[in-house]
Amino acid sequence: MAPNGFEQVWTGLLLRVENEAQLASVLGHEAAHFVRRHSLERFKTTERTAGLLMATQVGLFAGGVGGVNVGPVGVSTGDIGRLIATGYLAAYSREQEAEADDVGFEMMAEAGYAPGEAAAVWEQLMAEQQACDLPEPPALFSSHPPSEERLQTLKARARQSGREGATHRQRFLEATLPHRAEWLRMELNTGRFCRTRVLIERLIEDGANVGELHNFHGEVFRLRDEEGDRQRAIEAYSKAVAHASAPARTYRELGRVLWRDGRPEAARRAFEQYLEAAGAADDAAMIRRYLEQLL
Amino acid sequence: MSVWRTMLVALGVAALHAGCATNPRLVEAGDDAEVAAYEVDPQIEWSRQQARDLEIWTVNGVQLEQLRLYSDVESADSLFPQRQGASARAEPEERPRFRPDMRAHDVMELVQATLAQSGALDISVTQLRPANFGDRPGFRFDLALTAPSGLAYRGLAAGAVKDERLQLILFLAAEPHYYPRYAPVVRRIIKSVHFP
């Protein structure tokens, strides 16, 4: 949330909420930071910090250490300043967070969404963080660390409100499912495999387009490539292809893992199934080359 | 400076510094240029910086177009160094690294994931196809991506795994003007690859 009310919504959030009510609770929380001028206060604090940092950097530069490359990525005093500033920007105060929870809750409940979903979204985030033993929540929530206390407060508010509301899950799925595969690919590219695995396992339990999800479950294991992961990937791809929603590329990835696992016959069969399912794919010539190598 | 600019400028150059790079110098058209493991005909004049397993060539500056020539990338090497500004407290990213048993699809994924972790958006890799790299059976593919600033880039890649080491040429350029201007030149450079 920017000081002028501009709000960015990242695809990582859209993957991590189960329905429109959960999305509304996060948007309400963010909007509350703007309405109550938290983001403006933070901006002003950052301005003051930046002035201080500039003075510090001028001092350091005068001392002869400005902009020196000290490692493979060339850390300079400018970078240090930026890191400090970023860390400073990341924090809303505990009081501001509590107020944003409160005001955001009212906004989503007033809009007719199910109040209980406000706690559910934070619960899911905490589960992801705990399952992977993460030192901090996913990046998009790093300025809003969930806590047991906040969770309990939101649950109590939902009970006390006595309101009921809609989740609008179907509407949410209709809007997001056409894009989900692309978002999951981006999620995989972050290289944060534990977090992605936990997310995908929850989505599988959730039950929409599970063929596609088993494919991505296999992708997590294939790309992570730890002990036992090839077999896990093969099992996940095999589950995927039993569902109509599995993309044709599942056969290709299955073939790649089987080949790497020293099972050329099974790999051949999988590549042939890929060509059968997606013969016009733009990598078909490469797959045919693989098949020649597998003869 | 955005993460993307960091990738294009600071990381690329820092990678060269880390590898004891030379100062930028000119690649002259006409003579073959030796890139550690292979030689190419540069076709035109380029500004060149080189380190152990990477050279970066450009005409107008690395933010407008850059030709990355990797040679003898070894097992567990990554194509870009750790990005700047990553929080020390954050979950460490699994940095994509080269494995000697990688095939064409794996190398394409390696490039895609590396670019994604460097801040590129909407990356698409297409047209993976078999093509010789020098006298070695290799591959080529095309790339498109968007910088966080909104500027669209296009690219192409060619490579092969030779003696368990990756040889790779990766070209990235701003889509307006620079890609169409230099892509045909880069294709001729790729065609000229030969191993001494």
Average confidence (pLDDT) over B22-33: 76
The pLDDT value recorded for residue B88 is 42
pLDDT classification of A182: cutoffs 50, 70, 90: very high
The pLDDT value recorded for residue A283 is 97
**Residues B34-46: tens digit of each pLDDT:** 877 899 999 999 9
pLDDT-wise least confident of A136-145, A250-259, B48-57:
A136-145
The pLDDT value recorded for residue A61 is 41
pTM of the full predicted structure?
A: 0.81
| pLDDT at position B62 over 80 | yes
Query: Three-state SS for B170?
Result: strand
Would you tell me which residues 35-94 of chain B have a C-beta closer than 8 angstroms to some C-beta of chain A? 81-85, 87, 89-91, 93-94
In angstroms, the first-to-last Cα distance of chain B is 41
- Say if residues B56 and B33 touch (Cβ distance below 8 Å): no
pLDDT-wise least confident of A80-84, A212-216, B191-195:
A80-84
Closest CA of chain B from A142, distance in Å: 9
Token pair of B153 as six digits = 């880039």
| pLDDT at position B94 over 80 | no
- C-beta atoms of B93 and A191 within 8 A: yes
Indicate which of B6, B13, B94 best probes the interface with A, i.e. most A CBs within 10 Å of its own CB: B94
Which residues does chain B have within 8 Å of residue A186's beta carbon, measured at their own beta carbons?
Answer: 116
* Exposure of A80 in the CB half-sphere (CA atoms within 13 A): 15
Q: Quick one: B67 exposed, middle or buried, by C-beta within 10 A (0-12, 13-18, 19+)? A: buried
- What value does the CA radius of gyration of chain A take, rounded to a whole number of Å? 24
Closest in B91, B95, B128 to A132, CB measured: B91
Which residues does chain B have within 8 Å of residue A135's beta carbon, measured at their own beta carbons?
Answer: 89-91
- Say if residues A219 and A188 touch (Cβ distance below 8 Å): yes
Pick from A208, A228, A215, A205: which is nearest to A185 by CA?
A215
* Average per-residue pLDDT for chain B: 84
| pLDDT at position A141 over 70 | no
Q: For residues B102 and A80, which has the higher predicted lDDT (pLDDT)? A: B102
Report how far residue A160's alpha carbon sits from residue A154's, in angstroms, rounded to the nearest whole number: 10
Closest in A79, A191, A285 to B85, CB measured: A79
The ipTM, to two decimals, is 0.85
pLDDT-wise least confident of A21-30, B17-26, B31-40:
B17-26
Q: Does B34 touch chain A (CB under 8 A)?
A: no
Q: For residues B21 and A36, which has the higher predicted lDDT (pLDDT)? A: A36
Q: Does B12 touch chain A (CB under 8 A)?
A: no
Would you tell me which residues 127-166 of chain B have a C-beta closer than 8 angstroms to some C-beta of chain A? 127-130, 137, 139
Q: How far is CA A32 from the centre of its chain?
A: 22
- C-beta atoms of B18 and A72 within 8 A: yes
Question: What is chain A's length?
Answer: 295
Residue tagged 């890929």 (tokens): A274
Chain A nearest-CA residue for B131 = A286
pLDDT classification of A205: cutoffs 50, 70, 90: very high
- C-beta atoms of A283 and B128 within 8 A: yes
Chain B nearest-CA residue for A79 = B85
